[in-house]
Amino acid sequence: MAGHKTLDDLFATADIKGRRVLVRADLNVPMQDGKVGDATRLERVAPTLTELAGRGAKVVVLSHFGRPKGKPDAKYSLKPVAEALSAFTGGTVAFADDCIGEVAQRAIEALAPGSILVLENTRFHAGEEKNDPDFAAALAKNGDVYVNDAFSCAHRAHGSTEGITRFLPSYAGRAMEAELTALEAALGTPKRPVVAVVGGAKISTKIALLANLVKKVDALVIGGGMANTFLAAQGKKIGKSLCEPDLLDTAREILESARAAKCDVVLPSDVVVAAEFKAGATAHTVSADAVPEDMMILDVGPDTLKHLAGRFETAKTVVWNGPLGAFEIPPFDRGTVEAARLVAMRSKQGELVSVAGGGDTVAALNEAGAAEDFTYVSAAGGAFLEWMEGVELPGVAALAKT
């Protein structure tokens, strides 16, 4: 991978046997009744941990967990997560009750080379979120090398994601490397044409993202509730649909800058409407020009899907964020499901590179049974969105080759 220092760069320059390698992971997993729910993040970080352990390093894992407000709070202890991690690393994972100071130092001294230790929640110290240099130095004191494998936390300049890189040689872990490679292939130096699919409820959370995408992609497909505001901005009547009337001008500005950048904006030509958003509501398909006054738009229609199929047919790269409709309740999931399956199929055939992530996107693609065949599905939320906005992520910038 060009641009960032990876584990291969580390191994080429140093023997890490017996060395203390601090790995920033994202162990901020959902918990249900004291047990880890979705373990995707543990699964993704495990290869980096086992690779380092396999080379005889003392692997010391740093992570935040929840929002404990800068002081210890048993509710946010990483201890149960450390236990769950061992199922993915193939051996016992040790745990220490603090991430800095003597407690951490002693646990690391006692750690056998080739073993893994998780330190307690970095956010138990106020210096983490403030990116206090003294806190970052205290973290760094317990390591010889730093590896960041938490892309999902890289949009935050915190002690364990950015501050620490000022004190230690720093590298991207395997999951971080895979994420950066996928993102580079999608928006950095992509094969064209590039089609971006952006859906979800509202424009308000995605203005910066849309403004950046129109400058970078060849076609921007807008779906979901946010498409309604664009349709309204074009003077269409949208009945009772979700809309942000105070953003009509913003929508027009985005359409204008798309025109200037020669980016095709694809809005729904037909839509699925219902009188209310609930299971069992009677759905009708109408032209986007003829939405009945007492109905709301809840999905894109079949003509729109046909048009999208044509776009995906010729696309070389697809980048996707957000559902095309209110996908939680059938039949309003149909647009998202069918479009995602088309992209998945073309990706599986090796015809295009597809990268998806952010918010509800992963849930929607999983529901469509499409996630597996996308080239890459990011487990990151905010960091993925900021990357789509074109923002430089501090945790990533810190790993750049100089």
Verify cis geometry, omega within 30 degrees of 0, for the bond prior to 331: yes
> Please, what is the minimum distance in Å from the beta carbon of residue 394 to ligand AMP?
24
Question: Active site includes 225?
Answer: no
Long-range contacts of 330-333 (CB under 8 A, 24+ apart): 330/279, 331/272, 331/283, 331/299, 332/272, 332/274, 332/277, 332/283, 332/298, 332/299, 333/299, 333/364, 333/367, 333/368
Instruction: Determine, following the binding rule CB under 6 A, whether residue 242 of this chain makes contact with ligand AMP.
Output: yes
Which of the residues 166 through 205 are near ligand AMP (CB under 6 A)? 200-202, 205
Distance of CA 306 to the CA centre of its chain: 28
Helix (H) or strand (E) holding 353: strand 353-356
Known catalytic residue: 216?
no
Residues 345-384 that bind ligand AMP (CB under 6 A): 359-360
Work out how close the CB of 11 gets to ligand AMP at its nearest, in angstroms, rounded to a whole number.
39
DSSP assignment letter at 185: I
Using rule CB under 6 A, residue 328 touches ligand AMP: yes
> Please, is 92 exposed, middle or buried when counting C-beta atoms within 10 Å of its C-beta (0-12, 13-18, 19+)?
exposed
Q: How many residues bind ligand AMP (CB under 6 A)?
A: 17
Q: Does residue 16 interact with ligand AMP by CB under 6 A?
A: no
The catalytic residue among 5, 20, 24, 41 is 41
Give whichever of 118 and 273 is closer to ligand AMP, judged by the CB atom.
Answer: 273
Is residue 301 part of the contact set for ligand AMP (CB under 6 A)?
Answer: no
For ligand AMP, the binding residue among 239, 325, 357, 395 (CB under 6 A) is 325
Pick 137 or 283: Cβ nearer ligand AMP:
283
268 binds ligand AMP (CB under 6 A): no
User: How close are the terminal C-alpha atoms of the chain, in Å?
Assistant: 14
Burial class (CB in 10 A: 0-12, 13-18, 19+), 167: middle
CA distance 306 to 104: 58
> What gap in Å lies between CA 2 and CA 348, rounded to an integer?
26
Least spacing, CB of residue 265 vs ligand AMP, in Å: 17
Least separation in angstroms between residue 291's CB and ligand AMP is 11
201 vs 247, beta carbon nearer ligand AMP: 201
- Residue closer to ligand AMP (CB basis): 143 or 323: 323
Dihedral sign (CA 169, 174, 175, 176): positive
Active site residue 359: yes
CB of 328 to ligand AMP, least distance (A): 5
In the residue annotation, 41 being an active-site residue is answered as yes
Whether the Cβ atoms of residue 300 and residue 340 lie closer than 8 Å to each other: no
225 touches ligand AMP by CB under 6 A: yes
Binding of residue 295 to ligand AMP (CB under 6 A): no
Q: Tell me, what DSSP letter sits at residue 18?
A: T
Residue type, position 257, single letter: S
Residues with catalytic annotation? 41, 202, 359, 382
Residues that bind ligand AMP (CB under 6 A): 200-202, 205, 224-225, 242, 297-298, 322-323, 325-328, 359-360
